[in-house]
């Protein structure tokens, strides 16, 4: 039995002919038209994303949406009407976010993290900023120190709320926050703790020896890129360190300490610099 097309997913369909306005694709229950501007020449099969038009009919596109069904992505609101908000998600047809699906009133021109879901009738793709019901809370299989991708979707009193690996709910505590952590920012993180409430504590640096070595290399590479010197020192503010290096002050001090001990840098009153190459030539 042929499986039906699932909205919000990619499918590879056979090309069965051409028309003046595109390619005809074989699909369960009939054919779909791939618009001429998106139709690759000479293809026998095409990988397309399936969504629905205003009448609920499936449509095919080779354009890549910001997120597929069940996925999360940063999207910009391009318009707001009485009917709801409309988000740019990379397709010609904007993603509709009905008023009940808005965790807070969406404002035109602002970015939001949106989850793609089906409407109640399972006929159209819509967006929601109510994210809690769409996370996977089965995290027992995850392990501490595993690298993950994080997508910032909000903040609370404890820290920055993040989507972990497009599936789970996580938190980067304020003490571990550095660099750009605005809504929609994407970073690499590391699992610090798998909590009893099935949420994840996330750090932005590796721990132990690996994190120590990462900090050293990040500082040294930044020094080289800056011409050999940076206006940073032990009393530099966390903001200055973040601006120059994109790291926390704690990581900076560990990195500088290791580099100084290895004689790879020298410390000045208001700066650090790459150590000059040692002269091993015997002058005797």
Question: Is residue 166 domain-shared with residue 190, that is, in the same domain?
Answer: yes
Using alpha carbons, select from 248, 73, 49 the residue that is nearest to residue 149. 73
Residue 283 has pLDDT above 70, yes or no: no
1 found inside a domain: no
Question: Is residue 213 domain-shared with residue 199, that is, in the same domain?
Answer: no
155 found inside a domain: yes
107 found inside a domain: yes
pLDDT of res. 207: 81
pLDDT bin (cut points 50, 70, 90) of residue 278 is low
Of residues 107 and 222, the one with the higher pLDDT is: 107
**Whole-angstrom distance, CA of residue 68 vs CA of residue 73:** 9
Task: Please report where in the chains the tokens 């890549």 appear, as a residue.
Answer: 64
Residue 281 has pLDDT above 50, yes or no: no
pLDDT of res. 42: 82
pLDDT bin (cut points 50, 70, 90) of residue 191 is very high
Question: Is residue 153 domain-shared with residue 178, that is, in the same domain?
Answer: yes
pLDDT above 90: percentage of residues in the chain: 57
What is the extent of the structural domain holding 95?
72-132
Cα of first residue to Cα of last residue in the chain, in angstroms, is 88
140 found inside a domain: no
pTM of the model: 0.79
CATH number of the CATH domain containing 216: 1.10.10.10
Q: Point out the domain boundary residue: 186, 203, 220.
A: 203
Residue 180 has pLDDT above 80, yes or no: no
163 found inside a domain: yes
Q: What is the mean pLDDT of the chain?
A: 89
Question: Is residue 222 domain-shared with residue 190, that is, in the same domain?
Answer: no
pLDDT bin (cut points 50, 70, 90) of residue 284 is very low
CATH number of the CATH domain containing 92: 2.40.50.140
Stretch 198-205: mean pLDDT, rounded? Answer: 91
pLDDT of res. 157: 93
Highest mean pLDDT among 31-35, 161-165, 196-200, 255-259: 161-165
pLDDT bin (cut points 50, 70, 90) of residue 2 is low
Stretch 160-189: mean pLDDT, rounded? Answer: 90
Question: Is residue 127 domain-shared with residue 81, that is, in the same domain?
Answer: yes
Task: Specify whether the CB–CB gap between 170 and 135 falls below 8 A.
Answer: no
Sign of the alpha-carbon dihedral angle for 259, 262, 265, 266:
positive
226 found inside a domain: yes
Residue 115 has pLDDT above 80, yes or no: yes
Domain count, the chain: 4
Sign of the alpha-carbon dihedral angle for 239, 243, 248, 251:
negative
Task: Specify whether the CB–CB gap between 160 and 189 falls below 8 A.
Answer: no
**Whole-angstrom distance, CA of residue 144 vs CA of residue 133:** 24
Stretch 251-268: mean pLDDT, rounded? Answer: 88
Stretch 127-133: mean pLDDT, rounded? Answer: 96
CA angle (182 as vertex; 213, 222 as ends), nearest 5: 30
66 found inside a domain: no
Q: Point out the domain boundary residue: 203, 226, 244.
A: 203
127 found inside a domain: yes
């Amino acid at each position: 039995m042929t499986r039906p097309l699932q909205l919000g997913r990619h499918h590879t369909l056979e090309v069965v002919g051409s028309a003046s306005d595109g390619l005809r694709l074989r699909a369960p229950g009939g054919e779909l038209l791939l618009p001429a501007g998106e139709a690759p020449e000479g293809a026998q099969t095409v990988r397309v994303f399936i969504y629905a038009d205003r009448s609920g009919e499936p449509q095919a596109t080779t354009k890549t949406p910001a997120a597929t069904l069940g996925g999360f992505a940063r999207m910009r609101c391009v318009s707001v009407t009485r009917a709801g908000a409309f988000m740019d998600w990379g397709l010609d047809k904007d993603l509709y976010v009905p008023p009940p699906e808005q965790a807070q009133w969406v404002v035109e021109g602002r970015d939001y993290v949106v989850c793609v879901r089906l409407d109640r009738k399972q006929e159209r793709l819509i967006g929601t900023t109510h994210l809690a019901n769409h996370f996977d809370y089965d995290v027992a299989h995850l392990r501490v120190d595993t690298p993950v991708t994080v997508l910032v979707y909000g903040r609370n009193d404890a820290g920055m709320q993040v989507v972990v690996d497009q599936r789970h709910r996580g938190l980067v505590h304020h003490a571990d926050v550095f660099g750009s952590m605005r809504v929609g920012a994407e970073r690499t993180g590391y699992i610090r703790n798998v909590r009893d409430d099935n949420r994840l504590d996330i750090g932005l640096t590796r721990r132990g020896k690996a994190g120590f070595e990462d900090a050293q290399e990040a500082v040294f590479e930044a020094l080289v890129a800056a011409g050999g010197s940076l206006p940073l020192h032990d009393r530099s503010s966390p903001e200055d360190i973040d601006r120059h290096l994109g790291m926390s002050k704690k990581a900076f001090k560990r990195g500088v300490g290791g580099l100084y001990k290895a004689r790879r840098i020298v410390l000045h009153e208001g700066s650090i610099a790459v150590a000059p190459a040692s002269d091993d030539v015997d002058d005797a």
